[in-house]
Amino acid sequence: MDWWSWDRALEVLPELLVAFVQVTLVATVIGSVIAAVLGLIIAITRRTAPAFIARPVHAVMEFIRMTPIVIQLLFVFYTFNTVDGMTLGVIVLGVHYASYMAEVYRSGIDAVPKGQWEAATALSMSPARTWRKVVIPQALRTTLPALGTWVISMLKDTPYLTVIFVVDMVRQAENYGSRTFVYTESITMAGLIFLAASYPTSVLLRRLEKRLATY
Partner 1 sequence: MSDNFDALIAALPDLRSGVFITLQLTVGGVVLAFVIAIVLGLGARSPRWPARVPSRILIEFFRGTSLLVQLFWFFYVMPLFGIKLDALLCGVLALGLNYGAYAAEVVRGAINSVPKGQWEAATALSLSPVRKLRKIIWPQAWAIMIPSLANLAVMLLKGTAVAYIILMHDLTWETDQLRQTTGNTFFAYGVGMIGYFLIAYLMVLGANALERHAKRRLGQGPPKGGLFSVRITDKATAAPMPAANAGGGGAGAGGGVV
- Contacts with partner 1 by CB under 8 A lie at 3, 62-63, 65-72, 74-75, 78-79, 100, 103-104, 106-108, 110-111, 142, 145-146, 149-150, 152-153, 156-160, 162-163, 170, 173-174, 177, 182-184, 187-188, 190-192, 194-195, 198-199, 202, 205-206, 209-210
Nearer to partner 1, 125 or 188 (CB): 188
Question: Maximum CA pair distance of the chain?
Answer: 77
Closest CA to 64 of 25, 97, 109: 97
The Cα–Cα gap between 195 and 189 comes to 10
What is residue 124's DSSP assignment? T
Query: What's the min distance (Å) between Cβ of 123 and partner 1?
Result: 26
Nearer to partner 1, 30 or 111 (CB): 111
Nearer to partner 1, 33 or 60 (CB): 60
Angle at CA of residue 98, ends 167 and 153, nearest 5°: 55
Query: What's the min distance (Å) between Cβ of 155 and partner 1?
Result: 8
Nearer to partner 1, 30 or 177 (CB): 177
Query: What's the min distance (Å) between Cβ of 141 and partner 1?
Result: 12
Closest CA to 57 of 66, 47, 67: 47
Nearer to partner 1, 130 or 175 (CB): 175
b/e string for 98-128 if b means 16 or more Cβ within 10 A?
A: bbbbbbbbbebbeebeeeeeeebeeeebeee
100 and 38 in contact (C-beta within 8 Å)?
no
Residue type for 71, please? Answer: I
Query: What's the min distance (Å) between Cβ of 10 and partner 1?
Result: 18
Query: What's the min distance (Å) between Cβ of 178 and partner 1?
Result: 9
